Structure 1
Amino acid sequence: MKPSAYPLEQSLGMNYYATDAKGIGGVLRSSPEDFIVEELPIKFTGTGPYLIVKLTKRSWEHQHAMREITKRLGISPKRLAWGGTKDRNAVTTQYISLYDVTEEDLAKVAIKDITLEPITHHQFSLGLGSLEGNRFTITLRGCEAEDLTARVEAITKDILESGIPNYYGIQRFGALKPVTHRVGLHILRGEYEEAVKMYVGDVFPRESDEVKAARRAFAETGDAKAALHDLPVQLSYERIMLDSLMKQPGDYGRALQAMPPKLLSMFVSAYQSWLFNSALSARCARGVPLEDAAVGEHLIFTNDRIDTVTEKNIATARQHMKRGRCAVAAWMPGATLPVTPGPMEEEMFSLMKTDNVTMQSFADAAAFTGTNFDGAHRKITLHTEIEYSVAGSDVTLMFTLPPGHYATTVCREYMQGSPEQMV
């Protein structure tokens, strides 16, 4: 393993690469067609009150697309659900469920760069995780051409042999403004004013001068009316908060709660993701191989059974891992803790202590956002079979990932470039 040299990755807990091979550089998402995602759906029941629709979109932010669909249908956002959130700068195909919507209703909807195709019906609403996985076809443009094929082969070999640190990717924390986890930290501490001022008032390098000036003015004055006037309409989430502050001055909690519920909950879960990334990097720093287990760590088996590694069973645990029967997993802290903390959990609790966050903080945040934050096990290693092709200075990667795993985590192993090149 070798360390990342990029401060942004380090701030998000993504400190290591699995491969020791030299990266190929390049640029991700030169166009949306360079990042193609195809959702692999679950088996649908074929009957029921939910219309299952195949949604293909180009260059649409996920939440904006969902809001536009419900707006055009004239229905409550609560009647639309999905299995996974998809990238904006991409061409994505996924499945959504619409409650009590007919194919005739759907046929009347026409939205630029969005295709809606009715597929079947289902007895249940889709929810996060209601998919088998995602198939990716990703092209990296302008890679370093010297020994390019040999470098791609070497990286692929390392990935197949050892796997990749299963980091949450940069888009988990906000592609253009990666502060989602820090906003979540303020929510966990009940610091609602600080959360709003960070989300609306922090300035980010890749934004226009107009946006930067509006953010700075709000950070200095707290004038919601002026900021609402100055911020462009495409910054809709900032504007939702500001509109709420205009109507209820000083009520920053209500301004946060004016956000779409799923987006509000993502602030807190992003903090959980940061804890996981940081603990995984700390494990890498200790020199423990991804394909090995340490005493006190937890194993998750193919049937979802959890076991703890001890001095007595570590040899057996390693054999099970070698045969693909289980993998090391860490429990991301939340309002519950069903396992005895091992080395990674202790690392996360140490970070929480520094941040003045407790398990009760997650329970309080759950009440505030209307979403449970009980925590969950996550494998520390990502495994996938990768097909590739090289054409001149362009490299195309094809692979499939389970739900909740990040294609950019695979791409960064190949590119090893600035994270700004991957959003």
Structure 2
Amino acid sequence: ADGTGADGIEADAAVVDGATVGVPNYFGQQRFGSRRPVTHRVGLAIVRNDPREAVRLYAGNPAPAEPDDTRAARGRVDAAFGVSGGADDASDASGEASGEATGATDLAVDGTGDGDWAACLDDIPRKLRFERSMIHRLADRGVSPDAPRDHDDWWHALEAVPSNLQRLFVNAAQSALFNRIVSERLRRGIPFDRPVAGDVVCFADVDAPDELYAPDADRLQRVEADRVSVVTRHCERGRAFVTAPLVGTDTELGGGEPGEIEREVLDDAGIAPSDFALPDEFDSAGTRRAILLRSDLDVTVDGGDPRFAFALPSGSYATVLLREFTKSGPLDG
């Protein structure tokens, strides 16, 4: 069964009922925005020390799925910055993400912007209160769209949004890089449920309930070649998990081929761990995250529709697991 229809989903579910299943522990699309996947791109601009582009991506940059009035308002913001050509490439950063999720694909400010932030405020709907807050700060200071990309005025505009959203921007950038690392690992055929030499593993949370496979990212160990078989047994029993970095200033990258992948993804994105030394709420030390999402799965069929019951550790996404059976996209009902 391919799982693409109701019969396929039911057949797939029957195969795994009562089993322990494992899927790549991707960040789900909701981490980045389902209808306007831009949060990680704002964060990547911040980490690249380009707060001007971060403001533009958030307040401008219309997406096809948005209402007409919102698209028009964002288009006016792009015009104030001096960007034209329609919506940017809003790449899917979840699941089977490609390089576009982290690459420098954003449109460039071309020097033709009128900087009429007051006109932008006339067009931006009241419902876009965070976008309005950013543009208000630009208007209050009379910021030129040609001001240096890292000028304090751009940081001042970014800081108009709540502190939790400031952190979310950078967290989403870390998440997109993580997804890209996991995708490249799978593309190369490297297992994600057991280690290879150079991997960094974490151990299970000893305080977690018995039915929950919960990694403890504070208990890390690098896997040397002579320890691969021993650590593999721990992974098979749910006592250890292979990890990938959520990159930050304190990140130590892996060795061997896993470390090579981590470095290549960061190089492709134009980012280094030291770049996460950022002002105030944007600063992040980083951590590591298990790349295997493991769960005991129970399935019942109600009226022909399968119902899934499972427990997940904090920070993992039910949608990521369920998409393995439904094969649905982030905008599907």
Normalising by the smaller structure, the TM-score range is 0.7 to 0.9
Question: Does residue 229 in structure 1 map to residue 122 in structure 2?
Answer: yes
Q: 1:273 and 2:166 equivalent?
A: no
Change (3 A) 1:316 1:357: same
Q: List aligned pairs for 1:91-130, cutoff 5 A.
A: none
CA distance in 2, matches of 1:162, 1:399: 10
Q: Give yes or no for contact 2:76–2:123 (8 Å, CA) kept in 1.
A: no
**CA distance in structure 2 between the partners assigned to 1:340 and 1:278 by the alignment:** 15
**Could you tell me how far 1:163 is from its partner in structure 2?**
0.2
CA distance in 1, matches of 2:254, 2:201: 12
In structure 2, the partner of 1:216 is 75
CA pair 194-384 structure 1, distance change in 2 beyond 3 A: same
Mapped contact 1:163–1:290 kept (Cα < 8 A) = no
How far the C-alpha of 1:228 sits from its partner, in A, is 2.1
Given that 2:133 and 2:160 are in contact with CA atoms closer than 8 Å, whether structure 1 keeps it comes out as yes
Measured in 1, the distance between the counterparts of 2:253 and 2:37 equals 31
Matches within 5 A, 1:253-268: 253-268=155-170
Partner of 1:317: 231
Aligned 8 A contact 1:298 1:342 in 2: no
- CA drift of 1:340 comes to 4.8
Q: 1:383 aligns with which of 275, 289, 294?
A: 294
What do the CA deviations read for 1:346-387 (whole angstroms, capped 9, x no partner)?
323222223322222101x2xx24354111121110012233
RMSD: 2.2
Query: 2:62 is matched with which residue: 203, 222, 225?
Result: 203
What is the TM-score with the length of structure 1 in the denominator? 0.61
Q: Which residue identity does 2:139 align to in structure 1?
A: M
Contact 2:21–2:297 (CA under 8 A) maintained in structure 1: no
Alignment partners' CA distance in 2, 1:360 and 1:189: 11
Partner of 2:326: 415
Partner of 1:145: 6
CA distance 1:266–1:344, shift in 2 (3 Å): farther
The range that moved more, 343-352 or 372-381, is 343-352
Kept in 2: contact 1:280–1:344 (CA 8 A): no
Structure 2 unaligned blocks of 5 or more: 82-115, 144-152, 206-215
Question: Following superposition, which runs of at least 4 residues in structure 1 exceed 6 angstroms of deviation?
Answer: none
TM-score of the aligned structures, taking structure 2 as reference length: 0.76
2:3 is matched with 23
Give the conservation status (yes or no) of the 8 Å contact 1:162–1:290: no
Q: Deviations over 1:166-187 (max 9, x none)?
A: 0011011122211111111111
SS in 1 for 2:331: helix
Overall identity of the aligned pairs, in %: 35
1:300 aligns with 2:161: no
Q: Which residue of 1 aligns with 2:49?
A: 190
> Does the 8 Å CA contact 2:192/2:291 hold for their aligned counterparts?
yes
Task: Quickly say closer, same or farther: Cα 1:23–1:234, change in 2 above 3 A.
Answer: farther
Map residues 84-95 of structure 1 onto 2, 5 A cutoff: none
Which amino acid letter does the alignment assign opposite residue 315 of structure 1?
A: S
Q: CA deviation at 1:245?
A: 1.6
Is 1:291 matched up with 2:193? yes
**Offset at residue 332 of structure 1 (A):** 2.3
Paired residue for 1:346? 260
The runs of 5 or more residues in structure 1 that have no matched partner are 1-20, 25-143
**Amino acid of the residue matched to residue 217 of structure 1?**
R
Is contact 2:249–2:275 with CA below 8 Å preserved after alignment?
yes
Go from structure 1 to structure 2 and tell me whether the alpha carbon gap of 1:391 and 1:225 turns closer, same or farther (over 3 Å shift): farther
Q: Deviations over 1:21-43 (max 9, x none)?
A: 5224xxxxxxxxxxxxxxxxxxx
Aligned residues: 278
Structure richer in strand, relative to its length: 1
Shift in Å at residue 160 of structure 1? 4.1
User: Separation in 2 of the partners of 1:145 and 1:287?
Assistant: 30
Q: Who is 2:109 aligned against?
A: none
How far, CA to CA, are the matches of 1:276 and 1:374 in structure 2? Answer: 15
CA distance in 2, matches of 1:308, 1:274: 23
The letter for the 1-side match of 2:124 is L
Aligned residues of 1:145 and 1:392 also touching (Cα < 8 A): no
Contact 2:73 2:125 in 1 (8 A): no
Matched residue SS, 1:206: coil
